[in-house]
Structure 1
Amino acid sequence: MAFLRVLLLLGFVSIGLCCPNGWLTHNNKCYHFSRETETWLGAAQMCTYMKGTLVEIETKDENDYLKAQASTLVHGDFWIALSDVEEENSWKWMISSTPAGSETFTDWNPGQPNNSGGQECAALHYNYNYAWNDDECKTNYHYICETTDSDNSQVIG
C-alpha cells in the first residue's frame, strides 16, 4: 500500500477519464472531431449515435483547445450545438438550453451572427480562424462531439 501511495505522489499512476478510441481528452471531457461531414441535424444525430452530444463550448479554455485541434486535424468548418432555430436572434446551446450571450462565453467572428439568408446554426469557421459563424443548418460540415462517458466504444464519422 505504501508503494501505491508513492506512485500516486510521483504521478506514475493516473486516475481519470479514459476516452474511447478516436476521441481526445481535455479537462475531464472526451471530444470527437469528425472526418466526415453532415448537416447540423445529421451531426447532432451522429453524436447521439456515438453516445455523445454536439459540443457546447463553455469557456475560453475549451474554445481555444477545440480551435487548436480543429486546425491540426481537418481543414474545414465544424458544427457546434449553438442555434437560434427556436427563436430568431436568440442563440442558445441546444443540449443545455443555456442562452449564449453577455452572461456566457462566446467567440463570434466580428459581424456575426448576421442571420443572412436563414442562417440558424453555428460552426467553428475555418476561414475565420475557427471563430464562430452562423450558417444554414442544411450545409454539410465536419462536427465535434463531446462526452464524459468513458464507456463509448464506437466511432463512425
Structure 2
Amino acid sequence: MGPLSISVLLFTALVLSGGFAAPRAQEQREKSVIIEGYMENTSATQGCPSGWQKFNSRCFHYISQKTSWVHAQIHCIRFSASLASIHSLQEYRFVQNVTRRLGNNFPLAWIGGTDAPQEGKWIWVDGTPFDFTKWTPGEPNNRGGENCLEMNFGDQKLWNDISCKKYNPSVCARQAS
C-alpha cells in the first residue's frame, strides 16, 4: 500500500470519527468559496499549476480561505494534493515565504501534521515520514485535545498543535509533473 493510499485511509478515518464535523451551513459556504477560487488555476508552469510555487520536486500553494483542518485537506485532495508536509528547515522557510507572498505577514496556516490516530505520535497526512519538526518551545502540549498542526505560531513563527476545528488558511502540496 503506497503513501497516497495510507493518506486516504487515515483521512477517511479522521472524517468518519466525527471529530472534525463542521456545521452544515458553514460547510456549504466553504465549498462554494473554495470551488470558485480554484477552477481557473489549471495551466502548468515549471511542472506546477498556475499559482503554485516549486521547491525541489513538489509544488506548494497557500489558500487564504479559512477552514477547519479537515476541510482544508478535502480542498487539497480536490487538486491532487494534500496539506503540506515539511521535511527540512529550508523547505519550512520556503513554505513560510509562500504564505507571505500574498501580502500577509506570516499568517497562521494549516499544514498536514496530526496526532489524531495516536496521541503524541505525529504523522503527515500525505504518508511521508515525520522526519523534521519546528515546534514552538513547550509544544506540542495537547491542551484540550489539540491534534492538528498550524505553522507561523507565536513570535518565532514556529509550529503549534491546536484543535482541528479552528479555522485557518492552509498550504497544499503536490508532486510536480
TM over 0.5: yes
Residue 128 of structure 1: CA displacement?
A: 3.7
Q: Which of 98, 114, 132 is the aligned partner of 1:105? A: 132
* Mapped contact 1:17–1:29 kept (Cα < 8 A): no
Structure 1 residue runs without a partner (length 5+): 1-15, 151-157
Q: Which of 79, 95, 108 is the aligned partner of 2:110? A: 79
TM-score (norm 1): 0.76
Runs of 4+ residues over 4 Å off in structure 1: none
Deviation per residue, 1:31-82 (Å, 9 max, x gap): 1100211100001000001111110111111111112332343342111111
Residue 115 of structure 1: CA displacement?
A: 0.4
State the identity as a percent: 29
Higher helix share: 2
The answer to which structure, 1 or 2, has the higher relative contact order (CA under 8 A, 6+ apart) is 1
Higher strand share: 2
If you compute each CA radius of gyration, which structure gives the higher value, 1 or 2? 1
Structure 2 residue aligned with 1:54:
83
Structure 2 residue runs without a partner (length 5+): 1-44
TM-score (norm 2): 0.68
* Mapped contact 2:60–2:98 kept (Cα < 8 A): no
Structure 1 residue matching 2:66: 3-state secondary structure: coil
Structure 2 residue aligned with 1:144:
171
- How many residue pairs get aligned? The number is 131
What CA RMSD, in Å, does the superposition of the two structures yield over aligned residues? 1.8
Structure 2 residue matching 1:34: 3-state secondary structure: strand
Deviation per residue, 1:6-27 (Å, 9 max, x gap): xxxxxxxxxx942111211121
Distance across 1 between alignment mates of 2:55 and 2:176: 13
Residue 94 of structure 1: CA displacement?
A: 2.0
* Mapped contact 1:54–1:80 kept (Cα < 8 A): yes
